[in-house]
Structure 1
Amino acid sequence: MTSSTTNDVPTASTRAQECFDRPAAVTRSLLGYGPLAGAVYLTSGLIQAQTRDGFDLTRHDLSLLANGPLGWIQITTLVVAGLMTVAAAVGMRRALDDGLAGTWGPGLLAGYGLALVVAGVFVADPMAGFPLGTPDGPPSEPSLSGLLHMAAGGVGFACLVATTFVVARRFARERRAGWAWASRAVGLVVLGGFLGVATGWTSSWAVLGLWVGVVAGWAWIAAVAVLLYRRTPHPRS
């Protein structure tokens, strides 16, 4: 009897396991990839931009870094950042339980992540003097890889813009007016930055606009991921 009674008493480790919320831990872990994806993409891109001969931040977008002997670094960056974004989208889906934002928002964000992966697989054509020795201006005959890269970029930015507006609607319903308006503003900035380059405007202002859009998009993903992370209950609470 004594032995049986002793075995029925829960130990400290058993009680700790019972109090641990594994689904919440998984959700928070996945959301953590939101800020990390943008940090990896921007940090890697800026370091390469400062170390690759002939690359000019005022004339070239980061996609061109995928060309040349060291192009594998940017290719890897795009693929890794894209997969991290998909992971963050899964975390968003788990944190936003239902409704339009809970379904379409994460789905569109995952689309943006997958587009980054595709953009890494299909390399942009050399142009505007990069890599060194490339004629100035756009490529005279775009390759299939270059066209698919542009298509992936268009789809990706469209998904990101749509994500901001879908999630903004959720914020508005939650009476988070600041978050709602900020999300819409970021969506417009991202859209404007991409259209400036996609329409063939290759001036420094167009490249700067693209940079602003890219940074704003990553900052928004990070901010929303952190917000949802904090709203998700701590696994041991």
Structure 2
Amino acid sequence: MTHTLSATRHPASVTSAARPAARRALTGGAAAGPLFLALGVAQGLARDGFDFTRNAISQLALGEAGWIQTVNFLLTGVLLIMGATGLRRALRGGTGGTWGPVLVGVFGASFWAAAIFPADAGAGFPAGAPDTATLSGHGAAHMVAGTVGYLALCAAFVVLARPLAARGHHGWARASRLVPVAVLAGFTASAAFVPAFTAGAGLGLLWLAAVTARLAATPTPRLAVTPANR
């Protein structure tokens, strides 16, 4: 009796060999969102004149202590791209293994762009800034970077729903398809209510952390072995 694999052995062996490195990278990716939000909230509470009901977290990169938020953007970008490489290793050869990591990588790169092109002052922050902001070139670039990044993240959630379902996490897969709706709703409502943007962005970051951690903790489905040529 002989046996053949329903798919080649090579992808499975590569995934197995890369698993420890993939998990380390995924751990970094899972830490990105909570770390960014924790540092942002801490700064918002400590900085004079910052008001979560009027100001976006991005504005914390302005003023004398703005370098802290700039470093926060850069570090978060590094961790997100690390997570993207972990996803690529963990999902290699499987569903979602190409576009999921690419889209998360784009999201990570958008944080670097946000650090390079700071948001405009406005809504009374930093101290002495006018209530109405004037859109500058770097402010427009910051907005474009954020828009592209979060659209990529929403698309990544839809793509990553497939490997979640393949691992038996059907509830997670359904939620991963619904979270983008909430994120985009928050962005849409932000024109009238700034905290809606913060809530939408925070939800996206935290759900990415949860999905990344779930994929890191779940073994890659094994390739099936089928009998043949009995």
- 1:112 alignment partner, one of 107, 121, 128: 107
C-alpha deviation, 1:180, in angstroms? 1.4
Residue in structure 2 matched with residue 163 of structure 1 by the alignment: 156
Shift of 1:97: 1.9
| Structure 1 residue 231, shift from structure 2 partner | 2.1
Residue of structure 1 equivalent to 2:224: none
Matched to 2:126, the amino acid is P
* In structure 2, distance between residues paired with 1:168 and 1:231: 14
How far is 1:22 from its partner? 5.8
The 8 Å contact of residues 35 and 218 in structure 1, kept in 2 or not, is answered as: no
Tell me what 1:145 maps to: 138
What is the CA RMSD across the aligned residues, in angstroms? 1.7
Contact 2:120 2:139 in 1 (8 A): yes
Task: Give the alignment of 1:170-181 within 5 angstroms.
Answer: 170-181=163-174
Partner of 1:90: 85
**Native 8 Å contact 1:157 1:194 kept in 2:** no
Query: How many matched pairs?
Result: 205
1:231 maps onto 2:213 in alignment: no
Give me the TM-score of the superposition, normalised by structure 1. Answer: 0.81
Structure 2 counterpart of 1:212, one-letter code: A
Q: Percent identity?
A: 40
Q: Which amino acid aligns with 1:27?
A: A
3-state SS of paired residue (2:121): coil
Higher fraction of helix: 1
Q: CA deviation at 1:35?
A: 2.4
Q: 1:65 to 1:27 in 2, by over 3 A?
A: same
Shift of 1:215: 2.1
Q: 1:188 aligns with which of 181, 189, 208?
A: 181
Using a 3 Å threshold, how does the CA distance of structure 1 residues 61 and 225 change in structure 2: closer, same or farther?
same
User: CA 1:173–1:23 in 2, change beyond 3 Å: closer, same or farther?
Assistant: closer
Deviations 1:22-76 (A, max 9, x none): 6222111000012211122011101100111100011111001111011111111
Give the unaligned 5+ runs of structure 2.
Answer: 1-15, 221-230
Higher normalized contact order (CA 8 Å, seq sep 6+, divided by chain length): 2
CA distance in 2, matches of 1:178, 1:22: 29
Q: Secondary structure at the match of 2:97?
A: helix
What letter matches 2:118 in structure 1?
A: V
Between the aligned partners of 2:126 and 2:18, the Cα distance in structure 1 is: 47
Q: What residue in structure 1 maps to residue 30 of structure 2?
A: 35
Following TM superposition, by how much is the alpha carbon of 1:100 offset from its aligned partner in structure 2, in angstroms? 5.1
* TM-score (normalised: structure 2): 0.83
Rg larger for:
1
Report Cα offsets for 1:117-141 as digits up to 9, x if no partner: 110111001011111111112x23x
